[in-house]
Amino acid sequence: MLFSSTEGLIPISMATLSPTASLGVNIYLRARSNDPPVLYCAANELPDYERLVPLVGQGVNKLFIDVTDRARYQQYLRDNWDDLICDEASPIPNRVAVLSEVLRDVLDTEFARNDTESIVAASQKLGRVTSHLLSESNIITQQLCNVLHHDYATFTHCTNVSMYCVLLARKLGYTTADIEEIAVGGLLHDLGKLQIDERILNKPDKLDEFEFREIKKHPATGFIQLVDREDMSFGQLMMCYQHHERLNGSGYPVGCVSEEIHPWAKICSIVDVYEALTSNRPYRKPMSPKTALAILDKGEGTEFDSEMLECWRQLVNNHN
Amino acid sequence: MLAATSQQPQLVTHEIEGLRVELPAELQSFFFESGYVPTTAEEFRGNARLRVRSVGEILITHTPSALHSGISHRDGRSGKTLIKDLSRSGVGVLYHYELYPEEQFQLRFQGRLLLVATARCRRIANKCYEVGGRIISVETIESTQ
Q: Which helix (H) or strand (E) element contains residue B134?
A: strand B128-140
Interface with A, mutate which of B103, B123, B126, B129 (most A CBs under 10 A): B123
CA–CA distance from B114 to each of A182, B9, B60, B92, B140 (Å)?
A: 38, 27, 12, 12, 9
Tens digit of pLDDT at every position of chain A (320 positions): 334 444 688 888 888 887 777 888 999 988 777 788 888 888 888 877 777 777 777 777 788 999 899 888 888 888 888 888 888 888 888 888 889 988 888 888 889 888 999 999 999 999 999 999 998 777 888 888 888 888 888 999 999 999 999 999 999 999 999 999 999 999 999 999 999 998 888 888 888 888 999 999 999 999 999 999 989 999 999 999 999 999 999 999 999 999 999 999 999 999 999 999 999 887 788 999 999 999 999 999 999 999 999 999 999 997 55
- Helix-strand-coil split of chain A, %, nearest 5: 60, 5, 35
Contact of B112 with chain A, judged by CB distance below 8 Å, is answered with no
Listed residue (A104, A239, A217) closest to A159, CA to CA: A104
Q: How far is the C-alpha of A33 from the C-alpha of B30, rounded, in Å? A: 62
Q: What residues of B are in contact with residue A213 (Cβ under 8 Å)? A: 42
Calculated CA dihedral for residues A51, A145, A191, B131, nearest 10 degrees: -170
Q: How far is the C-alpha of B96 from the C-alpha of A281, rounded, in Å? A: 40
Phi and psi, residue B98, nearest 5° = -70, 135
Q: What residues of A are in contact with residue B68 (Cβ under 8 Å)? A: 234
Question: Which residues of A form the catalytic set?
Answer: 193
Nearest-Cα residue of chain A relative to residue B98 = A254
Q: Residue A97 has what pLDDT?
A: 87
Q: Which helix (H) or strand (E) element contains residue A278?
A: none
Q: How far is the C-alpha of A132 from the C-alpha of B65, rounded, in Å? A: 28
Q: Residue A281 has what pLDDT?
A: 82
Query: What's the predicted TM-score (pTM) here?
Result: 0.86
Q: What residues of A are in contact with residue B65 (Cβ under 8 Å)? A: 228, 230
Question: Which amino acid, one-letter code, is at A263?
Answer: P
Q: How far is the C-alpha of A66 from the C-alpha of A316, rounded, in Å? A: 34
pLDDT along chain B (145 residues), means of 10: 44 75 83 70 66 90 89 82 92 94 95 96 95 95 61
Cβ atoms of A73 and A23 within 8 Å: the answer is yes
Contact of B39 with chain A, judged by CB distance below 8 Å, is answered with no
Q: Which helix (H) or strand (E) element contains residue B125?
A: strand B112-125
Q: How far is the C-alpha of A265 from the C-alpha of A277, rounded, in Å? A: 18
